[in-house]
Amino acid sequence: MITRRRSRCTAGRSTPSTLPARRAGCRAAGTQALEALLGVDERLYVAVLEDEGETSIDVLDRSGTFVARFVVGGRAAVAETLLRDATGHAPRPATADAFGHEILDRLPRDCFAISSSEVCAWLLLRAIS
């Protein structure tokens, strides 16, 4: 079996261990939901109901810097947008619908803020319940 040196995980160690070549690295790619839950790349979503019935969602990074704005129509679209941005993947319609009923219906309709960690925490809690 071919072995390789473990380089990414041994920055603080004096003697790196060797791992089988087929073993995954320290961190798998595509772990945006987990990183958001742990506060890495934390985002804050500020949603405001506009006069035209659409909702604008401003996305701020951890330092409060404006990142993006989404303008969507309807509560279902707000739920889908928040889930998609927090996880990096399009949610299933049933998941977006449940998020709308369980989370968004409890928040004020005209203006609210929610973090990507809160969105991902809901997903994880829903997955284990």
SS (H, E, C) 15-71: CCCEEECCCCCCCCCCCHHHHHHCCCCCEEEEEEECCCCEEEEEEEECCCCEEEEEE
CA 89 vs. chain centroid, Å, equals 9
pLDDT tens string 41-87: 799 999 999 988 899 999 999 999 999 999 999 999 999 999 999 99
> What's the predicted TM-score (pTM) here?
0.69
